[in-house]
Structure 1
Amino acid sequence: MNTEWLALVERRAALHGALSDPGRLAVVDLLSRGDASPSELAAELSMPSNLLAHHVNVLVEHGLVERTRSEGDRRRTYLRLLPTELGPLTTSPLPRPARVLFVCTANSARSHLAAALWRRASQIPAASAGTHPAPVIHPGAIAAAARHDVDLRDGRPQTIDDVRREGDLVITVCDRAHEEVGLTADVHWSIPDPVPYGSDDAFDHAVTELSRRVAQLVPRLVMS
C-alpha cells in the first residue's frame, strides 16, 4: 500500500474529526469570510470565552487556523483560516453588495492593490480609501502592480469619509484601520504592511495574499 497516500487519508480524517463539532465549524464559517479576534468571534457566536479558546486550540493544533499578532495595538490576536488538503471549507453564499470598499490606514498600498485585484476578478465595483491617507501611492505598490499585471488606474489616496457609500461591503486590509474607533468593517483581512520593509518580496507577498483572499470571496457574493 502507498504509505504517502495513506498518510494523506489519515490527515484528512483528522481534519474532518476536528471539524465535526458544531462550535468549531461555526468558528471556521466565520473565519472563511475574514480574520477576527477571539473577542469578536465570542461576541458573534455568543460563546463563552473559555469554550471558544478550547475550539480555537483544537483548530490550531490541526493546522486549520493560525494566530497572528496585530500590527496595530500589538496586543490583540487575530485568527486566520489556513488552506488545507480539504480545499475550501465553506462555500456558503453571502449577499451581493453594491460595491466593495477596501480600507487601510494610508491608502497607499494594500487597499489600492486589493481594489485593483478585485476589479480584475469581479464585476462588482470596488474602491479604496484610508483612515489617514498618505500624499501618494507608495512606489513599491506601483512596482508590484506592474510585476503582477495589476491596473492601479492612476489612483490616489483618499479619506474614507469622502469615498464610503451606503451599501458598501467594507473590508479592512490593515489591523490599524480595523482597530480605529468609529470604523465598522464588515470583513477584516489581516495583511502585513509591506511599506516598512520596502522590499519587492514584501509587496509581492501582499499581492499574493490579497489575490488569494479575493479569489475566495468573489464566488460567494450572490444576488440576495
Structure 2
Amino acid sequence: MQNIFSLTGKTILITGASSGIGKAVAQQCAAVGANCIITARNEERLKQTLDSLEGNNHLMVIADLSNNDAIENLVASLPKLNGIVSCAGIVETKVLKFADESDLERLFQTNAFSSIRLIRSLVQGKKLEKEASIVMISSISGVRCGYLGGSIYGATKGALEGFTKAIALELAPRKIRVNTITPGMVESNLLNNSEISEEQLEIDKSRYPMKRYGKPEEVGYAAIYLLSDATKWMTGSSLLIDGGYTLN
C-alpha cells in the first residue's frame, strides 16, 4: 500500500535550516525520503544539519535571505522544487514605545519580506513544479493572540498569514498549494542567553493545557503532512499546533 505521507522523490527547499525548527523540518523530511536543499546564513551550523540528514541526495546553499541579490542567486541555482518550507525567522521582544526603525526593518525583513521575496522569485523563475506545496512557519502570536512586547513580531507573522491567503488563490490554477503552520512556543525559540529563570518557564508552560512547550520535530511532522500528497486539496489554511494554548 502506498504511504500517502512519503516524500520519496520530492525535492524540498528548507530555509533557516541551520537550527531549531528549520533543522528539525529538514531532518524529518529526509527521514521520509525527500531530497532536501537546505539554506541558512551560518555555514558551520548548516553543515551540521546536512551531516545529520538521512540519505545522500541532499544539498546545502549558504544564503542570507535578507539580501535580495542572495535570494536571486539562490533561486538561480535551484532545480525544480516539489515543496518549500520557509522557516527563516527571529524572535524578539520589543515594547513598541522603545522600538526604533532598525527594529521594525530587521524583524519585517527577516520574518516577512525575505519569505515573500523568495516565493516571488521562485514563481517568476518557474522553479515550482505543478502540485508543489509551499509551507510558511507562522506563529500564534499576532494571529491568534498577542503578548507584551510582541507587537512587531506578531505583525510580521500576521503579514505572512495575509500573504498566504492571497498567493494561495494566485497559484491554485497550477495546483500549487500554500499553507501556514501556526505554532505556540517551541523549545527552539528560547534564547540560550535568556534572563528568564527556569521557574518562570515552568509557570509559563503551565498555561498550556498539555503542560509543556512544543518540540521542533513536532512542527516537522506538521510540515511533512502539508508537503505530502495527503493535503492535495488543502490550500490557504493555517495548521494550528499549540498544545491547546489558544483554548484558554
TM-score tier, shorter chain, comes to 0.3 to 0.5
- TM-score, structure 2 as length reference: 0.34
Greater C-alpha Rg: 1
- TM-score, structure 1 as length reference: 0.37
